[in-house]
Amino acid sequence: MPLLQFKGKTATREGWQMKMKSIISQVVLLCTIVFLNSPSSAQTAKLAAAYGALSADQLVLWVAKDAGIFARNNLDVQLIFFTGGALAVMAMVSGDTPIIQASGPAIVSAGLAGADGVYVAGGIVSLDYQLMTLPEIKTPEQLKGGSVAIARFGGAADFVARFALSKIGLNPLKDVTIVQVGTTPDRLTALEARRVQATVLVPPTTFQAQKKGFYLLADVATLGLAYQHQGIATTRRFIRERPDIVRNFVRSYIEAVHRMKSDRQGGIKTLAKYLRLDDKEVLEKTYDNSISDNKLPPKQYPTLEGLKTILDQLAQKDPKAKAAKPQDFVDSRFIEEFDKAGFIDGLYGRRKN
C-alpha cells in the first residue's frame, strides 16, 4: 500500500475529506444494518459509537462493552473502528456515530473548522507515546532526511510526532517527511519493513517494538506536556436531543474505568481479545501502564490544561486557535453530576468530602 506523503500544507485535503465522508457512511451502514434491526427492550437505546485507534487507550470502551456495563445502563452499543481519529470525528459530526472516543487534536481541529464537538469525559489525560526508530538510528541527526509514520494528518499521532521531533531539535516540516500509514500495528509493520525510518507508538506496540530491537529515540511522556489524549466526545446537538443517552454513556465509562482498576485479570483478557495478542509479558506491562491514575483518573474530567497545549500548538498554523479557549471544547455537566452526587467516590469506597 503506497504511503501518502506530506510536506507543509495539504492541498488535496478537501477532496480527501469528501471521499472519506462517503467511505464512512458506507462503513457505518454496513456495520449497523443488522445491529439496528436486532430485537431489544423498549427501554434500551441503540447507539453506534466509534473509536479511531487499535491500542490500549481504547480499553475502557472494550471493557464497558464486554463486561455488560453498557447493557446495565440501558445502552445497546455497537463499537465501530475507524483508521484514525479524524475519520471518527467526521462520523460523529455526520451523526452516523453520535458518540466517539477521539484525540484532542482531532476534536479541537474540527471545532476550529466549525464542526460541533465537545468532550463529555476525559478518558486518557496524558501522553504515552514513544518515538521509535530503526535500530541504527540513535540520534536526531541520523533521522534527518528520513520518513516518520503517523496515522492520519490532524490526529494524535500527527501532533505527537511533530511535538517530539521539535523537542529533539528537528523541524518536522523540513528535516523529515511525515507520511500517513494507518493504525499503530500498521506503523510498526512499516518500520519493520523499513518503509519508514521512525514512527510514534503506544503500548503494547511500544513494548513489542523494543523486544524486536527498535530504538527509543524519545519518550514523549517525559517531555513535560499536559495533554488531552483520548476522550469521549459528542455534539452539542446530540446532548440537547438525547441527554439520557449521553448521561448513561458517561456513567458506563466511569464504571468501566473502575472495573479496569479493580479487575486486572478480566481487563487483561479483554485487552488480549481486541488486540489479538498472546504475549503475557507485553499484555501485563501494557495493562498496568494503562490504569495509572495520572493517565486514567477515576474522576473523568477533560483536562483544560491539556486542551490549551493543543490550542497553543495549532495556533502556529491556525489563527482561530489563538482566540479559542479550552472550555469551548468541553461539556462537563455529566461528570460533575456524578461527582457531586458522590457516585464516583462510592465506586471506590471513599466518603465524599
What separation in angstroms does the CA of 313 have from each of 158, 210, 222, 238? 12, 29, 18, 29
Parts of the chain belonging to CATH 3.40.190.10: 10-126+227-347, 128-222
pTM (2 decimals)? 0.77
Q: Sign of dihedral through CA atoms 141, 145, 149, 152?
A: positive
Question: pLDDT at position 40, please?
Answer: 41
Could you tell me where the beta strands, DSSP code E, fall in the chain?
4-6, 45-51, 75-81, 99-103, 118-124, 130-133, 147-150, 177-180, 198-201, 215-219, 230-234
DSSP state letters, 102-129 = EEHHHHHHHHHTT---EEEEEEE-S---
DSSP state letters, 212-234 = TT-EEEEEGGGS------EEEEE
Question: pLDDT at position 211, please?
Answer: 93
| pLDDT tens, residue order, the chain (353 aa) | 333 333 333 334 455 455 555 555 555 555 544 444 343 444 899 999 999 888 899 999 999 999 999 999 999 999 999 887 888 999 999 999 999 999 999 999 999 999 999 999 999 998 889 999 999 999 999 999 999 999 988 778 898 999 899 999 999 999 999 999 998 999 999 999 999 999 999 989 999 999 999 999 999 878 878 899 999 999 999 999 999 999 999 999 999 999 999 999 999 999 999 999 999 999 999 999 899 898 899 999 999 999 999 999 899 889 999 999 999 999 999 999 999 999 999 999 975 54
Residue showing cell 448513561: 248
Question: pLDDT at position 33, please?
Answer: 40
CATH 3.20.20.70 assigned to 10-126+227-347: no
User: How many C-alpha atoms does 219 have within 13 Å on its Cβ side?
Assistant: 6
Residues 6+ apart with CB under 8 A from 209: 132, 188, 191, 201
CATH 3.40.190.10 assigned to 128-222: yes
